[in-house]
Amino acid sequence: MTTQPPVLSIDGLHVRFRLRDAVVHAVTDLALTLHRGELLAVVGESGCGKSVLAHAVLDLLPANATVTGTVCFGPHNSPVRDLRGRHVGLIPQSPATALTPVRTGRTLLAETLKVHGRPATDADRVAAEAGLDPDDLARYPFELSGGMAQRLATALALAPDPAVLIADEPTAGLDRLLVDHTLDLLRRRCDNGSAVLLITHDLAAAERVADTVAVMYASRIVEHRPAAELFAAPAHPYTAGLLDALPGRAFRPIPGHPPMLTALPAGCPFAPRCAHTDDACTVQPATADGAACHHPLTRAGAR
């Protein structure tokens, strides 16, 4: 998989939001690649910058955002806005605000299919693929439950059959059966040659379907490794803490709170919550062997 050129390359990405009296450091020096057939999950606590990453990749940030770094989609040299839809799809985190309220689900889906050269008669099949009853396409978005709106947004993202799908919390508001349905759908897309960037706080979902996992903390990627290796033996203490908080493991929360993105420390941002910290942690660690940590955990020394 990794011998082929990536379909998505992100290098040196920084995103800053300028407020009246502060600057939010939402994404810091981020680098990721995504290959055809790969499902890459970006995980972390709420507020770490995961959704900002998704919107930065698609050039969908508000006017007060400053973005530096590069985002490249495969061989395309076109602006990102020209690739959205057919080449790069988005399942938004808040579908209720992304759906046009004066059009029924069927109209929205038929229009999307038509724009991308597919027959409107595919609407029922695409809706069913996303787990939405085709009969519900007759409803307006405000008549849909949160879970139904999520499935409609998924169907709209799938309609152009994009090569890259960015799924921002695609299982939010869904019951367990539909969570599994959506995850299996994303996995099948990768198995059929597409690529998926999954933004999620659901570690169980990432473990179930991801090939690789990037752990985000306080605007940075702190660990990026194959999923099986990461879940078996996390290298970063933050990753270990996230896994220990799961009900099936120690069910022990990480003490303390993440730093404010308006006041990030100069050194390791996880140091105030970490049991392994020392004077070295006053300096931002470099990434080695997939983890940005001065004292990475090992199989022999973990926990």
Q: Please, which pLDDT band fits residue 301 given cuts at 50, 70 and 90?
A: very low
Q: Is the pLDDT of residue 125 over 90?
A: yes
Mean pLDDT, range 19-34, rounded to an integer = 97
Q: What is the pLDDT of residue 23?
A: 97
The span from the CA of 175 to the CA of 63, in Å, is: 36
pLDDT 10s digits, 147-167: 999 999 999 999 999 999 999
Among residues of the chain, what percentage have pLDDT more than 70? 96
Q: What is the pLDDT of residue 77?
A: 60
User: What 3-state class would DSSP assign to 303?
Assistant: coil
Q: What is the pLDDT of residue 303?
A: 40
Mean pLDDT, range 129-139, rounded to an integer = 96
- Both tokens assigned to 27: 């994404």
Q: Is the pLDDT of residue 84 over 90?
A: no
240, 245, 249, 251: CA torsion to nearest 10: 140
Does pTM top 0.75 for this prediction? Answer: yes
Residues 31 and 222 sit within 8 Å (Cβ to Cβ) = no
The span from the CA of 113 to the CA of 125, in Å, is: 12
β-bridge partners, 100: none
